[in-house]
């Protein structure tokens, strides 16, 4: 069989994509708008997507489709239930960002705990130049050492953050599922973790059980100087509730690398914030050069494993 492979958004990942070593025809597009998807995937047996949405209504029009290869760990853009029902293999990428995302998390935590943005703003405003002392102490500086980190989600990324945090001397707590009746070994009840943590970092997938996981009620449980970090998916947090909490000083700060809609062309409450205790980066925690190349290498491996009849990294 000669597979027809369509890569819908090649420019979303930088690096060398090694074409798989089995007979195939190949088309790639730098980017694909929603209205272009249906035409571009016609006749495809393998579709590669990063963030392009593939729902059952579209997939049902593709009689030759055998595999959806996600060029990412997250699969919330693919109709997994439809694929399972119709025998379509869906594979994702795993472990490629086990170093780069945790480093981004720690960088956000350090910048916020040490109030680097606030001090940088003061220097730019000339405050240091006017200081009567050799330094000034207008913003609290808190160490990571001795602080408590609450992790929600225990995959490779959460584990990576835990390793770095422990190296800094942090106490690490792992959250039990929200609403769970029992707390498993090595876990902390969800609400108790929010109350105890100085830094809370999210590392869970976006699905029906995690959408809106952190809302106004959860933010009220957090310490007034606690920091919330999200490098997972934007929809896990009620962004309007977070914006209000930051404006009202009800939590210490937040570092986000994701929003509920990306790119945020229609605006977002978090985009409107101009606060020294809020850092927003454009979904780049995963995007070190080494991590992107590892992703592309694993993607090729997923395609070749599927063609051998031994699909790996299956989510459907």
Question: Which residues are known to be catalytic?
Answer: 233, 262, 283
- Rounded to 5 degrees, φ, ψ at 297 are -65, -40
**How far is it, in rounded angstroms, from Cα 92 to Cα 285?**
18
**8-state DSSP, 96:** T
CB 302 within 8 A of CB 91: yes
Residue 269, judged by CB atoms within 10 A of its CB (0-12, 13-18, 19+), counts as: middle
Partners of 243 in the β-ladder: none
Partners of 70 in the β-ladder: 49
Q: Please state, as a whole number, how many other Cβ atoms lie within 10 Å of the Cβ of residue 236.
A: 23
CB 200 within 8 A of CB 194: yes
Q: How far is CA 190 from CA 35, 112, 149, 176, 266, in A?
A: 41, 23, 13, 5, 33
What is the torsional sign of CA 24, 27, 33, 36? Answer: negative
- Helix H, strand E, coil C: the string for 183-237 is CCCCCECHHHHHHHCCEEEECCCCCCCCCCCECHHHHHHCCCCCEEEECCCHHHE
């Amino acid at each position: 069989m000669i597979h027809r492979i369509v890569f819908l958004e090649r420019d979303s990942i930088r690096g060398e994509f090694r074409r798989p070593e089995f007979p195939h025809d190949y088309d790639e597009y730098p980017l694909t708008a929603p209205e272009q998807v249906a035409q571009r995937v016609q006749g495809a047996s393998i579709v590669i997507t990063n963030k392009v949405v593939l729902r059952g209504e579209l997939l049902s029009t593709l009689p030759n489709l055998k595999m959806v290869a996600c060029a990412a760990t997250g699969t919330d853009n693919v109709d997994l239930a439809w694929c399972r029902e119709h025998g379509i293999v869906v594979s994702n990428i795993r472990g490629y960002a086990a170093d780069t995302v945790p480093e981004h998390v720690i960088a956000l935590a350090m910048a916020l705990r040490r109030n680097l943005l606030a001090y940088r703003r003061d220097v730019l405003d000339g405050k240091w130049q006017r200081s009567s002392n050799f330094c000034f102490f207008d913003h609290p500086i808190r160490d990571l050492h001795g602080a408590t980190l609450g992790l929600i989600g225990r995959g490779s990324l959460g584990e990576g953050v835990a390793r770095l945090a422990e190296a800094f001397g942090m106490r690490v707590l792992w959250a039990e599922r929200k609403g769970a009746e029992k707390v498993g070994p090595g876990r902390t009840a969800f609400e108790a973790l929010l109350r105890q943590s100085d830094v809370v970092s999210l590392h869970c997938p976006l699905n029906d059980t995690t959408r809106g996981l952190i809302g106004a009620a959860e933010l009220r449980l957090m310490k007034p100087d606690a920091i919330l970090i999200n490098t997972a998916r934007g929809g896990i947090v009620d962004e309007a509730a977070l914006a209000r909490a930051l404006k009202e000083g009800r939590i210490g700060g937040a570092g986000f690398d994701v929003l509920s809609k990306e790119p945020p062309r229609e605006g977002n409450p978090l985009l409107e914030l101009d606060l020294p205790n809020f850092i927003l980066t454009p979904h780049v925690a995963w995007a070190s050069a080494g991590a992107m190349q590892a992703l592309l290498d694993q993607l090729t491996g997923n395609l070749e494993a599927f063609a051998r009849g031994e699909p790996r990294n299956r989510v459907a």
